[in-house]
Amino acid sequence: MKLRVALFVAAIAAASVGPGRAADGDQFVIRGDATKTILEQDEINVATAEAVGKACIEEAVKQGVKVSVAIYDQFGEMVYLYRMDGQPKIAVETAMMKARTVLNTLRPSKANMNEVLSGRSSEIRQTSRGNFPQAGGLPILVNGNQLIGIIGVGGSAGNLPVWSDEICAWRALTKVIGPQPPLLPDAPREAGGGTNRAPNR
């Protein structure tokens, strides 16, 4: 009896997962004849990238800030780029650099920032490896661990714990794709640690 109840509850939970939260993630990646051309079935599709980008912009508008959003596929090819009016070139560049950092390391760009802040690495070491040690870049995952793309957000001043470029990206992914891994905590700056001037840009 208990097993039957548990199965029933599980079935209801599965049914309550909307189309934007499907476990298989098929609606977020390229399907159909296009896969025959690119020989790839785990690449984020344009519709998903655009939806995530727009969701991030909506979050920025709510906060009264401006951001730039860059979304790449899992191979580092640009899929979507959006710059809100008034964003300088550096904001666009930092969004792209944060995304490339995720591509290099397969982890949030904040992980690199935390290593610098805690003294376990340096900005020079990070940049020599092609990384930009600032929060705002996140992997785009489906099925728990399948990388389909990368998002980088840049341009807004952080107001933790309420707002940051990273929070913008995380909220957008949660809205469009579903629950995301929790964000990494900010590492405390240790004596002799890194000298990042704007850890949440």
DSSP secondary structure of 84-105: -TT--HHHHHHHHHHHHHHHHH
Q: Which numeric CATH code is attached to 20-176? A: 3.30.450.150
Q: Which amino acid is at 124?
A: I
Q: Which two tokens stand for residue 67?
A: 């951001």
Rounded Cα distance, 136 and 160, in Å: 13
Query: Can you give the pLDDT at residue 201?
Result: 47
pLDDT tens, position by position, for the chain (201 residues)? 443 434 333 333 333 333 444 446 788 876 677 676 666 668 899 999 999 999 999 999 999 999 999 999 999 999 999 999 999 999 999 999 999 999 999 999 999 999 999 999 999 999 999 999 999 999 999 988 899 999 999 999 999 999 999 999 999 999 999 999 999 998 876 655 444 444 444
Residues 6+ apart with CB under 8 A from 145: none
Are the C-beta atoms of 133 and 164 separated by less than 8 Å? Answer: no
Query: Can you give the pLDDT at residue 26?
Result: 80
Query: Can you give the pLDDT at residue 15?
Result: 37
Helix runs in the chain, H state only: 2-15, 34-38, 46-63, 89-105, 109-117, 123-128, 165-176
Are the C-beta atoms of 56 and 130 separated by less than 8 Å? Answer: no
Q: Which two tokens stand for residue 112?
A: 């690199």
124-130 long-range contacts (CB < 8 A, ≥24 apart) are: 129/104, 130/100, 130/101, 130/104
Residue 63's nearest CA partner among 169, 154, 134, 162 is 162
Q: What is the pTM of this model?
A: 0.79
Domain range list for the chain: 20-176
Query: Can you give the pLDDT at residue 190?
Result: 62
- For residue 143, the SS3 value is coil
- For residue 80, the SS3 value is strand
Residue 134 burial (CB < 10 Å; 0-12/13-18/19+)?
buried
